[in-house]
Structure formats: C-alpha cells, structure tokens
Homo-oligomer: A and B are copies of this chain.
Amino acid sequence: MRRIKCTIAYDGTHFAGYQIQQQKRTVQGELEHALSIIHKGQFVRVYASGRTDATVHAYGQVIHFDTPLAIPDEKWPKALNALLPDDVIVKEASEVPPSFHARFSVKKKEYRYRVWIGEKNVFLRHYVYHYPYKLHVTAMNEALRYVIGTHDFTSFCSAKTEIDDKVRTIYEAEVIQEGEELIFRLVGNGFLYNMVRIIVGTVLEVGRGERRAEEMKTILQQKNRSAAGKTAPGHGLYLWHVSYDN
C-alpha cells in the first residue's frame, strides 16, 4: 500500500461540514465517494488534518489515504478532480511514508477569518462576515497579542468540547486591514472547537469599543466560555494552511 497526501480546497457553503454524516453532504463523503470509484467500488478511508464545520471553507486542508494503486503523484489531482463536485478541488498530491498522518503529524495550522466592514455585498455573502461597524484595528491587534503563547484556551472554546487538554500554543495572531476587509490570521500548534471563531468574535467586540484589549488576559484566566464574546459565524473562516515536518 502507498500513502498519498493531498492538499485540497473547498467552498464550505453547501457542505454540512468536513466530516462524514449520514444523509448529509460532506467533504469527506465526496472524497471517499470519488476514491471508491477510482478503486472500482472498494472503500477507501480518508483522514484529514481536522474537521471543519458547516459553511467553513478550506484553502489548504490536508488529507491522506492508503491505496494499492500505482498512480503517479501528479495524476492523482486530475483523477480525483474529474470525479469531485466543483466546490472541492485537489490542488496537489504526493506519496508520503506510512509514518505520515494528516492529523497526528500536524506541526502548525493557519486559519484566516475574513470580515467585511463595507456595504453589504451580494458576491461576498458566503465568503466574509459582514460586520459594518467602525473598528479600532490597533486595539484589535493589541487584544490578539494576549492569545500569542501557550495558554489554557477553555474560555475560547465551545462548552461542548470533549477534549480534556485545552492548552494550545499560538505562534502568530494579527489582523490586517485591506480596504474594506479585515483579515485575521492565527497560526498555532492546534485549535480547539470554535476557538478561532470565539477569538475573532471577542476581538471584534474590542474593535467596537465594547471591551478593552486587556480583558483578553482575564478572559483566559477565567477558563470559562461565558467570559468571552460571541462566536463569529462559520462562513468567514478559512483553514488556510497545515504544516508538517519538512
């Protein structure tokens, strides 16, 4: 068996999320369906770097699967894209050693979150969070500096999270304004459920002057989801890049 690693992108608008669910349209479901056709009906399990929720997009999600087929690396994207719907695309593929695992070998992940502060725009409705308020970008960057480093992110994850260890390390956290768009960038060794969306939602409240930037510190200390702000909607979020060793 060969292990194939693929970088994929998807428009999350019409998916019930990445992970397979009965009777729902999912990215994993589409990938496994395309692979089963290539494997003449044989089921092929796909493993991703992590799941994404309904309406959340991916620009650089990573998956792997095992195959007995000797298809050269550069042919895999063409073979899969011919069978996939037009809202998922395989950008590249390469054979990796069997020790590689799309989820367990992750070193870093980058998420981006797009906020649109201009007039409502029909062309962006599925791709940015429309938040038409005057925002203080410097204060938001000041707030984001408090999440950089190793912290217990209990306050910034969904109360439904079942994982016990809520300590994660954030390497980079910033927001950049480009015209009427704000782009949040968060890079970390891992993210808890809804973590980026709760950080963004809280930092937007800082941007509007409803909270002070320093509150981020006390929110972290409280280890209580209700201390933080609203969860920003899924359709502004992008799993941007996943890094592995070399």
Residues of B close to A86: CB separation below 8 A: 122, 125
Q: What residue in chain B is nearest A8 (Cβ atoms)?
A: B122
Q: In the bound complex, what is the Cα–Cα distance between A127 and B9 (angstroms)? A: 17
Q: Of A87-95, A98-106, A135-143, A156-164, which stretch is located at the interface?
A: A87-95
Copies in the complex: 2
Which range contains the number of A residues in contact with the other chain? 10 to 19
- Contact for A91 among B11, B88, B89, B119, CB less than 8 A: B119
Interface of A (DSSP majority class) = mixed
Q: In the bound complex, what is the Cα–Cα distance between A3 and B9 (angstroms)? A: 47
Q: Is the CB of B122 within 8 A of A89?
A: yes
Q: Is the CB of A11 within 8 A of B87?
A: no
Residues of B close to A125: CB separation below 8 A: 11, 86-87
CB of A120 within 8 Å of the partner chain: yes
Residues of B close to A11: CB separation below 8 A: 122-123, 125
Please name 6 further chain A to chain B contacts, defined as beta carbons within 8 Å, in addition to the given A11-B123, A57-B123, A91-B119, sorted by A numbering: A10-B122, A11-B122, A11-B125, A59-B123, A87-B122, A123-B127
User: A-side interface residues toward B, CB under 8 Å?
Assistant: 9-11, 57, 59, 81, 86-89, 91, 119-123, 125, 127
